[in-house]
Structure 1
Amino acid sequence: MILVTGATGNVGRELVKQLHQAGQHVRVLTRNPEKASFPTDVEIAVGDLASPVTLKDALNGVQQVFFVRVPGSDAFPRIAKESGVDQIVFLSSGAIDSPTENAIGRNHLHTEELIRQSGMKWTFLRPGAFMSNSLHWAQSIRTENVVRAPFGDVGTAPIDQRDIASVAANVLVSSGHDGKVYSLTGPEILTPVQQVEILGSVLGRDIRFENVPESVAAESMKRFAPPEIVDAIFALIRDNRNHVDSVTTTVEDVTDRRAHTFRQWATDYSDLFR
């Protein structure tokens, strides 16, 4: 039995789909079962990672876990081990590898250490920027044919969430991954300006990019996210300006399939921008 946490998120939802298609016995953990839509033979367990007393039934009979940390989930690795879980695959963060100390990297590194101490077999996935982050631009593209964002000239190697899920699925169903730390990127370095150009080409529209001052963008984001996380995101982007992302081949190495390009991702999800 494989338990997938974060199953309604971008990566978790895709992982459940891939594991189910591969014939694996899957259970998902959710706080809101009425909002969870999965195939009928995928088990749904109600629980909260930040509330240990709700996890006993969800972990019953589980051998493997895909784990996505949330605030307050520090006890989960210990509880999983005590419940008989043998293997944990943790969706960590490439922010750990940044030369700039930041809250995102610090939080995920702390969770990695808790997992190491638990005694379970483990594999850590450290993705960088997600291609799906560009969905934040969807509304302004639909209504104005414009994207307003900071750091238009800073390149990253964004990754398709389907590729992260594919790596996770392979780790969960095959051997040879214990104790491995996998850095995950997409296949190319792209700036936001270049991503917008690709979106425009896919959509057949002229989309304008307007660079927003960092201070203005940061204040806007802090209305919806903790200040330390916003500060970490901006610190990581500034770091990319001075230390350009390296493209890894991990997706292909683990899955034997090339990582999706941003153009492929934009084409497959183009309806979300129309």
Structure 2
Amino acid sequence: MKVLILSATGCMGSGLVEALKNDPKFQVSAFTRDPDSDSAKSIQQAGITIFKGDFSDKEALEKAFAAGFDAVFFTIFPDLAGGDTDIEQAQNIIDAVKRHGVKQVLYGSVARTGTQESFDRAYRNLPEDSFLRVYWPKKWKIEELVRSSGADWTIIKPPTFVQNLVRPQYVAMMFPELPTSLVIKDATDPNLPQWWVDGSDTGRFAAEALKNPERFRNKDITIGTELLTMNEMVEKLRKASGKDVQLYKWPADEWEATKTHMIHSVKRNFGEFGYDPEGGNPKEYGFEFTPISKWLEDEKNQKGTWLAQ
């Protein structure tokens, strides 16, 4: 089977590359913006062909898809500027899927899409221009594009990645103070349980859909490893790093300002979504997820991060 992995250097894509690269049943190619990045170079060293381009570049996508593939995996970073670039990129991909007769499409979405009652409850207290108002609905719209592609599809819906607290590129956006001050500025209720997962596990899970297409055909699957509060996550970070990691105590004026902050406003209202106790760990598939503590304490995951400094 010939597989094209778009978003090949992200958490999900790299996990899928790792799961397939040594399997003789699969001929894997990758698509990335920067073939010279360290993560892309490691893919090339595994003998995997890399196509250069981004999802807005229709010519680059056409060149890649023209090589002929049975299956395609993709996930899309949200348009943080408030536009519809992410929707347009997804449309470009689905158009290519249709033109080239791709038989199977795997999409990495996000947990909780489609639970409109939860959205309505959360949106009541949000300003009209809040990023939260468009994030999940846009993810759902991309899912709908996938479902209408004409190909067999599997939509995988992960929750929060543990990598958000560790990997430099993610920490810089989500928790910029953490590496230097060992303080987590998070507006989520510290006692609110939420699902966490190793992002690369979602890619490994996607590999199961390629290996067993009938079992995963036309299914939406929410996955997650552990249901943890931020207080519990801080304890795991302390143990893994040997450092005195703390949760930030918000002064009243800063707490008020979180209402309009792109990321903090989302976290602040996260509790309005609630959580699904059965929302993760789909045991019916017999997939073994990486325990969060095991991932955090693994030296290869710590390398080059604040955990090992």
Q: With structure 1 as the length reference, what TM-score do the two structures score?
A: 0.85
Q: Which amino acid aligns with 1:49?
A: F
Give how far 1:128 is off: 1.3
Q: Which amino acid aligns with 1:106?
A: P
CA distance in 2, matches of 1:94, 1:7: 21
| 1:171 and 2:188 matched | no
**The one of 88, 94, 110 aligned to 2:105:** 88
- Contact 1:95-1:236 at 8 Å conserved across structures: no
Give the root-mean-square deviation of aligned CA atoms: 2.4
Other-structure match for 2:12:
11
Other-structure match for 1:226:
none
- Contact 2:21-2:46 at 8 Å conserved across structures: no
Other-structure match for 1:51:
57
Deviation digits for residues 153-195 of structure 1, max 9, x if unmatched?
3220101113211110110122321111101111x32111211
Percent identity between the two aligned chains = 22
Other-structure match for 1:150:
187
Other-structure match for 2:80:
none
Give how far 1:132 is off: 1.4
Q: Give the direction of change, closer, same or farther, for the CA distance of 1:53–1:139 in structure 2 (3 Å limit).
A: closer
CA distance in 2, matches of 1:33, 1:167: 25
Other-structure match for 2:224:
185
Give how far 1:28 is off: 0.6
Other-structure match for 2:267:
234
Q: Give the direction of change, closer, same or farther, for the CA distance of 1:105–1:146 in structure 2 (3 Å limit).
A: closer
Q: Which amino acid aligns with 2:291?
A: T
Matches within 5 A, 1:97-116: 97-98=114-115, 99-101=118-120, 102-116=133-147
- Contact 2:13-2:200 at 8 Å conserved across structures: no
Q: What's the secondary structure of 1:34's corresponding residue? A: coil
**The one of 229, 234, 240 aligned to 1:202:** 240
CA distance in 2, matches of 1:158, 1:56: 35
Q: Give the direction of change, closer, same or farther, for the CA distance of 1:203–1:47 in structure 2 (3 Å limit).
A: closer
Q: Give the direction of change, closer, same or farther, for the CA distance of 1:202–1:54 in structure 2 (3 Å limit).
A: closer
- Contact 1:189-1:247 at 8 Å conserved across structures: no
Give how far 1:245 is off: 3.6
Give how far 1:10 is off: 1.3
| 1:61 and 2:68 matched | yes
Q: What's the secondary structure of 2:288's corresponding residue? A: coil
Deviation digits for residues 119-146 of structure 1, max 9, x if unmatched?
1111111111111122228875553343
Q: What's the secondary structure of 1:55's corresponding residue? A: helix
Give how far 1:12 is off: 0.8
Q: Give the direction of change, closer, same or farther, for the CA distance of 1:183–1:47 in structure 2 (3 Å limit).
A: same
Q: Would you say how many aligned residue pairs link Structure 1 and Structure 2?
A: 262
Which range is displaced more, 203-212 or 193-202?
203-212
Give how far 1:200 is off: 0.7
Give how far 1:199 is off: 1.1
Give how far 1:97 is off: 4.2
Give how far 1:218 is off: 6.0
Q: Give the direction of change, closer, same or farther, for the CA distance of 1:138–1:233 in structure 2 (3 Å limit).
A: closer
**Gapped runs of 5+ residues in structure 1?**
223-229
CA distance in 1, matches of 2:13, 2:259: 28
**Gapped runs of 5+ residues in structure 2?**
78-85, 121-132
- Contact 1:96-1:104 at 8 Å conserved across structures: no
CA distance in 2, matches of 1:154, 1:129: 13
Q: Give the direction of change, closer, same or farther, for the CA distance of 1:154–1:97 in structure 2 (3 Å limit).
A: farther
CA distance in 2, matches of 1:83, 1:236: 42
Other-structure match for 1:260:
290
CA distance in 1, matches of 2:114, 2:104: 24
Q: Which amino acid aligns with 2:267?
A: F
CA distance in 2, matches of 1:126, 1:44: 26
CA distance in 1, matches of 2:70, 2:35: 22
Give how far 1:252 is off: 4.3
Q: With structure 2 as the length reference, what TM-score do the two structures score?
A: 0.76
CA distance in 1, matches of 2:46, 2:36: 13
- Contact 2:72-2:104 at 8 Å conserved across structures: yes
- Contact 1:251-1:258 at 8 Å conserved across structures: no
- Contact 1:5-1:12 at 8 Å conserved across structures: yes
Q: Which runs of 4+ in 1 moved over 6 A?
A: none
Q: Which amino acid aligns with 1:120?
A: A
